[in-house]
Amino acid sequence: MRGATPGQVAAAALIAAFLAVFLVLPVGTVMYVAFTEKGTGAFTLVNFADFFRTELFVRSLWNSVYVSAMSVVWASALALPLAIVTTRFAFRGAALVQTLGFLPLIMPPFVGAVAMQLLFGRNGSVNLLLDEWLGFKVPFMEGLNGVIFVQSLHYFPFILINLSASLRNIDRAMEEAAQNLGSSGLRLFRRIVLPLAMPGYLAGASLVFVKVFDDLATPLLLNVKDMLAPQAYLRVTSIGIADPMGYVISVVLVVASVGAMWLSALATRGRDFSTTQRGGGGLARRQLSRGEAVLAWGAVGLILLLVLSPHLGLLLLSFATVWSFAPLPDGYTTAHYARVFGESSTYIANTLVYASLAGAIDVVLGTAIAYLVLRTRLVAREWLDWTAMAALAIPGLVLGIGYLRCFYGVQLPGGQPLATLWIMIVLALAIRRLPYALRACHAAMQQISASLEEAAENLGADKARTLRRVVVPLMTGGILAGFVTSFSTAAVELSATLMLVQSNSDAPLAYGLYVFMQSAAGRGPGAALGVIAVLLVAACTLAAHLVAERDHRRKGGSA
């Protein structure tokens, strides 16, 4: 690690400028209200005093912390078995399990909520059947525990993806060395494998924590209002839009999110997770005995059934005529698909373009930021990381309003405001999903030993060439994980999109869904669009996994 090169400084400056223009500035124009005094506009912190004096907000803060922490625990319980079975054992259909295990992340807005309620709600299928047969109901979707239940199902893929990528990257030599020294089984896993996979696990776990902390859709769906993110949303979008409290809460959210990221960085600081040898094919894949295979399939099947039940509900809903207070729909029809068929092609094309562009921007930025943070000694380089992560805590609506405020006044040569161009939707999506890609790339780079780059440089390669020929190829798994997460979550984003969509011809699937889901007759077509969105993203994810597997085999050679 030597001093910074001019190229690195330039890259850092470029990224800082990008984040400043498309994140800090638009958000700043909206959020500065949090620091102003009512009536005079002078700088003040009295609004923050109000926050801590208000019982509702303090209660919300603790509820959010509790729910986020518990969600991490349960999400880990769901993700660990899936990740281990698919990476540590010769397990047929690993790519399929990885894809299916990833689907919960893609829960289309509104319609996903309806499907969840129809299955797990107070009068959902499960409770109606329980009540009929056993005479009691289980409050799956009530209060804070309901939020934890839904959030764990929804966000555990963050841990699954990042942990799997990490496990695949562990050098087999480490495992073999441990085995030669007499370690095996659980001890081997606990002392060698898990610690080496820590960057991936922490990347996933911290994402789950922060995402749950900042998520407002699920608590609102369950009508839990005493959590922080819903409070911010309700305040910003209710009538008192000039009221500072909504932005005060947003600032608290940003600080808490960055704080959580900082803590997780602290946990990996000063430890070396990198391994030198590459292309060893990752961990040895053990063959499963017949009994073990049955056990593994059983566990995987059960988990998948649980986490995919919302999608099953969605599928039923998309074929249902009327589904009301009954375990199953009254009848089935394909009319909903016929109704959305004509117009969905525009939505699908737009979604693919927007989400893949956003994903591409995210992995480029994510790799660059991870490289700058981990491999250079630039002053304040961590600030790039933290600023980008803060995007996680910015309500989409605030970003949307900020974009309108900053870019609507900028006229293009044709007299059209800059903010009305569809590329702004892409940029908003890229900013909102950057944290996912960044964490994945960061974790991947932590696992690469700097000595490989030094070797390349000693052999005469310059920095750029080393990056291109050594670092990026070794990070493929992480970059891919980042792309897939950013892409698929961008494909179902709504809150910022809703503010920026200017015409139907520019609208993505999520907007189409929203437009349908406002009326009783639109429920079926909305669900059909939701199913299309899920299938679309699933197909892309599966393709990405197949590419990753092939790449992995190619690098692993015959080993």
Partner 1 sequence: MQTRRALAGAISALGLLASIQGAGAQSGKVTVVTSFAKDVTDPVKRAFEKAVPGVVLEVQNRNTNAGVKFLEETRAGNQVDLFWASAPDAFEVLKGKKLLQAYAPKATGIPEKVGAYPINDRDGFYFGFAASGYGIMWNERYARANRLPEPREWQDLAKPAFHDHVSIAAPSRSGTTHLTIEAILQGEGWDKGWRTIKEMAGNFRQVTERSFGVPEAVNSGQVGVGIVIDFFAFSAQASGFPVKFVYPSVSTIVPANVAIVANAPNRAGAEAFIEFLLSPAGQEVLLEPSIRRLPVNPAVYAKAPADYPNPFTDPRLGKLMPFDADLSESRTAAVDTLFDQLVTFQLDALKAVTKALHDVDAALARKDNAAARRLAGEARDLVAAMPVTAAQAASPEMRAAFAGGSTKGARQAELEQQWAAFGRERYAQARQKAEEALKLAR
Smallest gap from Cβ 345 to partner 1, in A, equals 14
Please give the C-alpha separations between residue 114 and each of 71, 108, 213, 479, 524, in angstroms, as whole numbers. Answer: 21, 10, 22, 33, 11
- The minimum distance between CB 411 and partner 1, in angstroms, equals 7
Report the residue number, 242 or 266, with the smaller CB distance to partner 1: 242
Long-range Cβ contact pairs of 328-335 (< 8 A, separation 24 or more): 328/125, 333/524, 335/524
CB of 473 to partner 1, least distance (A): 29
Give the C-alpha separation, 528 to 114, whole Å: 13
Residue among 414 and 557 whose Cβ is closer to partner 1: 414
Question: Is 298 strand, coil or helix?
Answer: helix
Complex with partner 1: residue 5 or 223, whichever CB lies closer: 223
434 half-sphere exposure, CB direction, 13 A CA radius: 30
Q: In 3D, which of 94, 483, 487, 147 has the Cα closest to residue 304? A: 94
CB of 330 to partner 1, least distance (A): 8
**Dihedral pair phi/psi, residue 288, rounded to 5°:** -95, 140
Closest distance of CB 490 from partner 1, Å? 17
Q: Which is nearer to partner 1, 276 or 416 (CB)?
A: 416
Q: How far apart are CA 443 and CA 447, in angstroms?
A: 7
| Residue whose C-alpha is closest to residue 392's, from 258, 497, 221, 556 | 258
> What's the min distance (Å) between Cβ of 505 and partner 1?
7
Q: How far apart are CA 98 and CA 153, in angstroms?
A: 15
Nearest residue (CB) to partner 1, 29 versus 183:
29
Nearest residue (CB) to partner 1, 9 versus 498? 498
Query: Which has the closest alpha carbon to 526: 220, 154, 112?
Result: 112
Question: Hunting for tokens 């047969």 — which residue is that?
Answer: 133
The residue among 142 and 549 lying less far from partner 1, judged by its C-beta, is 142
Q: Tokens 């729910």 appear where?
A: 67
Closest CB to partner 1 among 282 and 400? 400
Q: Is the Cβ of residue 121 or residue 280 nearer to partner 1 in the bound state?
A: 121
b/e map of 8-46 (b: 16 or more CB within 10 Å)?
A: beebbeebbebbeebbbebbebbbebbbbeeeeeeeeee
Neighbours of 317 (CB within 10 A): 24
Q: What gap in Å lies between CA 479 and CA 355, rounded to an integer?
A: 16
Residue (of 257, 283, 281) closest to 438 by Cα position: 257
CB of 437 to partner 1, least distance (A): 22
